[in-house]
Amino acid sequence: MRLDFTSLSARDAYSWMVSTILPRPIAWVSTISADGKSNLAPFSFFQGICANPPTLMFVPVNTRDGAKKDTTRNIEAVPEFVVNLVPFALAEKMNATAALLPYGESEFEKFGIASAASEHVRPLRVAAAPVAFECTLDRIVHVGEGPLAANVVFGRIMLAHIADAALGADGHPDPAKLDLIGRLGGELYTRTTERFSIKRPDR
Ligand SMILES: Cc1cc2nc3c(=O)[nH]c(=O)nc-3n(C[C@H](O)[C@H](O)[C@H](O)COP(=O)(O)O)c2cc1C
């Protein structure tokens, strides 16, 4: 089949993109409002983008009404956040935090998610996340306007917390021990427990 994206509605384009661009890692992002209220939400338009300087990005799009999500509002007010990675054991809790809560209501409290203090930034981190990146805002790039338009958030990684239990014998993270989940289309997810390796031609 062929799909002409120039004639698709934004919602249809979104639907085809999220069912073809996969698996997608999930940034479980904690932020804080100007008056100190915590927020936690998942975003699968997410990637690391470079190491010089260490930078990642994720994308809270506008709502269907064209409003900014709480995560965007908070980062504009307090330019710091934590990107927590999501293990299989926290899949249900992560999904719960995608619920629409009134601005200022904490997903940590509402869904009983244990938090831990961060060192470089004010937002809390998810205590049981095997990896948590403390980030300061580099910049927000706006792509499009109105409903589903993107607020691309670039974050400078200041500090990573990596669970000792997720390290292999070589001292590096073991994908099976991390047991992270990735998003597929719709309500489907995948896990990092199945792997294969290929030698790179230039190594
Ligand atoms: C696995 C998963 C991935 C998601 N990825 C995105 C995403 O990349 N961008 C986005 O705007 N919303 C995404 N959502 C929806 C948001 O999590 C949801 O709109 C949430 O309520 C936003 O929270 P906030 O208003 O507290 O920022 C995703 C939801 C789930 C469950």
Instruction: Out of 65, 69, 76, give the residue to mutate to test ligand 1, the one with the largest number of ligand atoms within 8 Å of its CB.
Output: 69
190 within ligand 1 shell (Cβ under 6 A): no
Give the pLDDT score at 144.
96
In the predicted model, residues of the chain with pLDDT beneath 50 are: none
Give the pLDDT score at 200.
93
Task: Report, at the CATH architecture level, how domain 5-188 is classified.
Answer: Roll (2.30)
Give the pLDDT score at 86.
98
Give the pLDDT score at 50.
98
Sign of CA dihedral 23, 28, 34, 38: positive
98 within ligand 1 shell (Cβ under 6 A): yes
For residues 194 and 14, give the distance between their C-alpha atoms in angstroms, rounded to a whole number. 28
Assign 193 to helix, strand or coil. Answer: coil
Give the pLDDT score at 179.
96
E strand spans, 8-130: 24-25, 27-32, 38-43, 46-51, 54-58, 80-84, 115-116, 125-126
Instruction: Out of 38, 40, 44, 189, give the residue to mutate to test ligand 1, the one with the largest number of ligand atoms within 8 Å of its CB.
Output: 44
Atom of ligand 1 nearest to the CA of 107: 26
Count the neighbouring beta carbons within 10 Å of the beta carbon of residue 77.
12
Give the pLDDT score at 194.
86
Give the pLDDT score at 39.
98
Give the pLDDT score at 172.
96
Give the pLDDT score at 71.
98
* Alpha-helix residue ranges (DSSP H) falling in 40-198: 70-77, 91-96, 107-110, 175-178
**Nearest alpha-carbon partner for 151 in 86, 87, 83, 63:** 63
The residue whose CA has the least distance to atom 21 of ligand 1 is 98
Residue ranges covered by each domain of the chain: 5-188
For residues 95 and 20, give the distance between their C-alpha atoms in angstroms, rounded to a whole number. 20
Give the pLDDT score at 16.
96
51 within ligand 1 shell (Cβ under 6 A): no
43 within ligand 1 shell (Cβ under 6 A): yes
Residue 176: what are its φ and ψ, rounded to 5°?
-70, -40
User: How many whole angstroms from 41 Cα to the centroid of ligand 1?
Assistant: 6
